[in-house]
């Protein structure tokens, strides 16, 4: 809330919309990248046959997400 007000104060109304669009685009890209990464991790875990290896990968992924 403070950042958009600060940007509005500095740059005016039009750039506030542009900054909001850029922030929304970055957030959307990050969510999409995380979902694609989750898909590949889940696929790899499903195809892996070694249960100990599955647990290692799942633990690393949980740490990465947190």
Kindly tell me if the per-residue pLDDT of 4 is higher than 70.
no
In this prediction, residue 1 carries a pLDDT of: 46
| Domain locations along the chain | 2-65
In this prediction, residue 12 carries a pLDDT of: 60
CA gap 37, 41 in Å, rounded: 6
Cβ(57)–Cβ(44) below 8 Å: yes
Encode pLDDT of 7-65 as tens digits.
565 566 656 667 777 788 888 888 888 888 888 777 777 776 677 777 777 777 777 66
Q: Which helix (H) or strand (E) holds 47?
A: helix 13-47
Instruction: Please calculate the CA angle 2-31-42 and round it to the nearest 5 degrees.
Output: 150
Q: How confident is the model at residue 2 (pLDDT cuts 50, 70, 90)?
A: low
């Amino acid at each position: 809330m403070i950042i958009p007000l600060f940007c509005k104060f500095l740059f005016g109304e039009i750039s506030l919309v542009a900054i909001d669009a850029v922030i929304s685009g970055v957030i959307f890209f990050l969510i999409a990248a995380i979902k694609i990464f989750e898909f590949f991790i889940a696929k790899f875990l499903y195809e892996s046959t070694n249960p100990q290896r599955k647990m290692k990968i799942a633990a690393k992924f949980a740490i990465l997400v947190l």
